[in-house]
Structure 1
Amino acid sequence: MKISATAEDTFLQQVFAKYNFSKEDGALLADTLVDADLRGISSHGIQRLAWYLNMIKEHIIEPTNKPIILKESATSLLIDANQNMGHIASALAMRKLIEKTKKSSVSIAVIRNSNHFGTAGYYSRMAAEAGLIGVSNTNTRPLVVPTNAKDAFLGSNAFAFTFPAEPHPFVFDGATSVVSGGKIQVLAKQGGKIPGEWAIDRDRNIVKDANAAEDILSKVALTEEQPGGGVLTLGGNEEENSNYKGFGNSLVVELLTGILAQGSISADTNTGKHDFSQFFLTIDPSFFGDIEVLKANVESMFERIRNLDKLPGTQIMIPGDREYKRYDENKAHGVSIDETTAGQLKDIATELNVTAPTAL
């Protein structure tokens, strides 16, 4: 079904208020989920709500805790998310980095003791909207099987990069694995088949049934038991297709997040503290040249790429083009919610005595 973005935002803010998030934090959390749905990234939108609420009930997430700045310099930050939602500490980090980078040209933040933070691109776009380059990384629950291994060890370990441009900033936002776990979660809710080579079983056979793949990922994420199998690294199942490069990308993010934050590595986030870590970098491109000239050069390069000779019936799109197109369409016509998620929203509304969003 389709619901309006405004109705989704109102519902989410009501739900987060019931779980004792401050008005400011609840508004931020709602905005991140609505933003993901508007951009067609349903894997990180409202379909995550029931998962978040379960973690609150299990005290993995503590809504009244506030992030703590542990160390700060003119160009760096170390933040303890204090076991609250990763979105809250991440937005704080990016706001502080924007201030610092306007003065110093480059700044870095690391967050420890955090949780899932939604889409990495949300925070990098904050930097781009301030005229800065933004980089956002996070580790996650163990989902990804290294090259030639049988067991999941790494997270999907998102990487987002933004660069100021016109008519909108350049945004690359993606997992360092073939897909994020959330995409398999959405397909499982829809009862669909996996279209590509995304997941494997314990013998590295490709899994096409989304429910079977989600069952593998759930067992890895929620228990200490290692059932074998998981999501593939970029490059797919075979070493001949250079999947060790995707493995390497995931490791880089792991080093910048769990290791640098002195938190859990992805492999250990399903036990003990259940903590994630995040890394952010902002750069002021105007240090290197006139910002309007840089923007013009970026757009010129993108237009040359879009206009390259292409296969009949296809379109060449720059990363971010599709999401901005969906954003405008979904703002006007509503965001799509799968039936399973719609049912979960009704159950949440009944439990909390709030009104669930209705279909357009």
Structure 2
Amino acid sequence: MSRVKSEDERQYLENVFDKLGFTKENGQLLADTLVDADLRGISSHGIQRLDWYRRMIKDGTIVPTREPKVVRELPGTVLVDANQNMGQIAANLAMDKVIEKAKKVGVGIGVVKNSNHFGIAGYYARKALRAGLVGIALTNTRPLVLPTNATQAFLGSNAFAFGFPASPHPFMFDGATSTVASGKIQLADKKGEKLPGQWVVNKDRQLVNDPREAEDILARAAFSDTQIGGGLLTLGGTDVENSNYKGMGNSIVVELLTGILAQGSISADTVRGKHDFSQFVFAFDPSFFGDPDKLKADATAMLNRIRNLKHVPGKTIWVPGDREYKNLANNQKQGVNIDDKTYEEISQIGQELGVNVPAKI
């Protein structure tokens, strides 16, 4: 692992996205989403995604010159067509519209169609938080996840993020509805680390701990119309006794609010013909229900009670968001971590595009 200054990473990414044909504003947004992920220690959705983005631009899956547009809207709802551009750009537009509506009528709902990968879901929920609102963001993905008792991937890893005002930082849950996001498998493969826990199974629904084998399984599930079998497990792991059907249910909810509601592809069908993800963003004004300062104080008190419960010696009770905000504070000072394989990738991209690579510190 190496560290680079976050401002150097940001400048590098802005330069790369400029070379790849994005507008200055869109390139800055894309860079911000990746740097934000790395600063928060969510490396699976940081700069290590750049090589994948570039490959999708090369094969026409992503078209940087097509601007997202609003298809229709009402006082509390909006539908955005990503127009085959990056999901970050369309989801950001949708959340801006949703925030505007929530400020006027108390609630806003936005759906994005014809989209692509949109980075970390929490990025958009935090945007609502900064506006004094409660925020939610969801996305479907390629088919990576096996429903309960299935041996064939069908559902997406389908991220869900929820943010609520609190101190010293907001409550911020941001995670996949599978045991892990596929990006963590990619990172483990790059680092040569064995997979812990119940993450991936093969066509016989047997656990796989070799990251390269797991990557091959996920690649076949995500990019092949002919299913061989295997994939990510839902929350709850391999067994019904551990309530893995609840993880499946969570993932289906996201499918309904994204691919189905957007009248786009469900995760299972993104491998056929047109590639399109869908997103769902939501925000509401908590002040309708009570004094916002009291709501924030009450949420803070509850979260602190959880943090201070009796616990296993040597362990810490982390409330969702605690690790990420701690990482943010540390990495802003120390620089962000980039694994060696990713650093090789961004060095090669920099060389090909004539962009200076961020120096190691």
Q: What do residues 114-146 of structure 1 show as CA deviations (whole Å, max 9, x unaligned)?
A: 000000000000001111010100000110000
Report what 2:179 is aligned to: 178
Q: Which residue of 2 aligns with 1:127?
A: 128
Instruction: Report the counterpart of residue 33 of structure 1 in structure 2.
Output: 34
> 1:279 aligns to what?
280
Return the offset for 1:254: 0.2
Larger CA deviation: 268-277 vs 154-163: 268-277
CA distance, structure 1, for counterparts of residue 323 and residue 299 of structure 2: 18
How far does the alpha carbon of each residue in 1:70-103 deviate from its partner, in whole angstroms, 9 at most, with x for none? 1101000011000000000001111111111011
Structure 2 residue 126 is matched with structure 1 residue 140 = no
One-letter code of the match for 1:204? R
1:92 counterpart residue number: 93
Q: Distance in 1 between matches of 2:88 and 2:279?
A: 10
Q: For residues 69 and 108 of structure 2, what CA distance do their matches in structure 1 show?
A: 18
Q: What residue ranges of structure 2 are gaps of 5+ in the alignment? A: none
* CA-to-aligned-CA distance 1:288-337 (integer Å, 9 cap, x gap): 00000000000000111111000100111110000000001011001111
Q: Alpha-carbon deviations, 1:37-84, whole Å to 9, x = none? A: 000000000000000000000000000100111110100001100000
Aligned: 1:346 with 2:317: no
Q: Is the 8 A contact 1:101 1:283 kept in 2?
A: yes
Counterpart CA distance in 1 for 2:211 and 2:272 is 25
- Deviating more after overlay: 316-325 vs 159-168: 159-168
Deviation at 1:270?
A: 1.8
Q: Which residue of 2 aligns with 1:10?
A: 11
Q: Give 3-state SS (helix, strand or coil) of 1:40's partner.
A: coil
SS state of the match for residue 80, structure 2? strand
Amino acid at match of 2:158: N
Q: Any idea what SS the aligned residue of 1:344 has?
A: helix
Distance (Å, rounded) in 2 between the aligned partners of 1:237 and 1:263: 30
Q: Which amino acid aligns with 1:353?
A: G
| CA deviations over 1:154-179 (Å, ceiling 9, x no partner) | 00000000011122211000001100
**SS of residue in 2 equivalent to 1:264:** coil
Q: Secondary structure at the match of 1:53?
A: helix
Question: Secondary structure of the residue that 2:275 maps to in structure 1?
Answer: coil
Q: Match for residue 235 of structure 2?
A: 234
Partner AA of 2:112 in structure 1: I
Distance in 2 (alpha carbons) for counterparts of 1:197 and 1:248 = 18
Cα deviation 1:205-228 (Å, max 9, x = unaligned):
000111110110011212212120
1:111 aligns with 2:78: no
Q: Aligned to 1:213, what secondary structure does the other structure show?
A: helix
How far did residue 271 of structure 1 move? 2.2
Equivalenced residues, count:
360
Quote the Cα distance in structure 2 between the aligned partners of 1:94 and 1:66.
16
Give the aligned residue type for 1:354: V
Residue 167 of structure 1 aligns with which residue?
A: 168
Give the corresponding residue for 1:333.
Answer: 334
The separation in 2 between residues aligned to 1:14 and 1:92, in whole angstroms, is 22
SS in 2 for 1:279: strand
Q: Does 1:291 align with 2:292?
A: yes
- The range that moved more, 216-225 or 141-150, is 216-225
Counterpart CA distance in 1 for 2:263 and 2:290 is 36
In 2, Cα distance between equivalents of 1:9 and 1:125? 19
Partner amino acid, structure 2, of 1:188: D
Q: Is the 8 A contact 1:97 1:109 kept in 2?
A: yes
Q: Which amino acid aligns with 2:360?
A: A
Aligned-residue identity in percent: 60
TM-score by length of 1: 0.99
1:129 touches 1:164 (CA, 8 Å); kept in 2? no
Deviation at 1:235, TM superposition (A): 0.5
- Alpha-carbon separation, structure 1, partners of 2:120 and 2:65: 22
Structure-2 separation of matches of 1:42 and 1:150: 29
Following the alignment from structure 1 to structure 2, what is the Cα–Cα distance between the partners of residues 296 and 64? 45
**Structure 2: distance between partners of 1:171 and 1:353:** 38
SS in 1 for 2:135: strand
Task: Name the structure 2 match of 1:156.
Answer: 157
